[in-house]
Amino acid sequence: MATETWEWGWQWRAACRGEDAGLFFPPSRFEPKAERIVREGKAKIICAVCPVRMECLEYAVRTREIHGVWGGLNEAERRALLRDRPLDLRLVD
């Protein structure tokens, strides 16, 4: 999810610019699983056509973003990605 600080050039081309950030991040209240799946599904539809998806995912993995949908993956999916990477790649930041 592109933040509002715009410190990375790729964010200017993000498909989520102007979209509801609430699709990409969980609410501050408890979110039932069914609601989370629908919310994340809507976010992932936007990510699927995003021209900077790989840049976004790489950023989120490198900075260990713990919340939200980035690069089309939610928190658990990014953790699984990190867990499944070879050890030498986990050490590269």
**47 contributes a contact to ligand SF4 by CB under 6 A:** yes
Among the listed ranges 28-36, 45-53, 74-82, 83-91, the one in contact with ligand SF4 (CB under 6 A) is 45-53
Among the listed ranges 11-19, 33-41, 79-87, the one in contact with ligand SF4 (CB under 6 A) is 11-19
Nearer CB in complex with ligand SF4: 16/61: 16
Cβ atoms of residues 49 and 57 within 8 Å = no
Structure tokens at 85: 């990477």
Cβ atoms of residues 6 and 14 within 8 Å = no
Length of the chain: 93
| Residues facing residue 73 across a β-bridge | 70
In the complex, what is the shortest distance from the CB of residue 88 to ligand SF4, in angstroms, rounded to a whole number? 26
In the complex, what is the shortest distance from the CB of residue 49 to ligand SF4, in angstroms, rounded to a whole number? 8
Residue type, 54: M
Cβ atoms of residues 21 and 1 within 8 Å = yes
- What does the binding site for ligand SF4 look like in residue numbers (CB under 6 A)? 1-2, 14-16, 24, 46-47, 50, 52-53, 56, 69-72
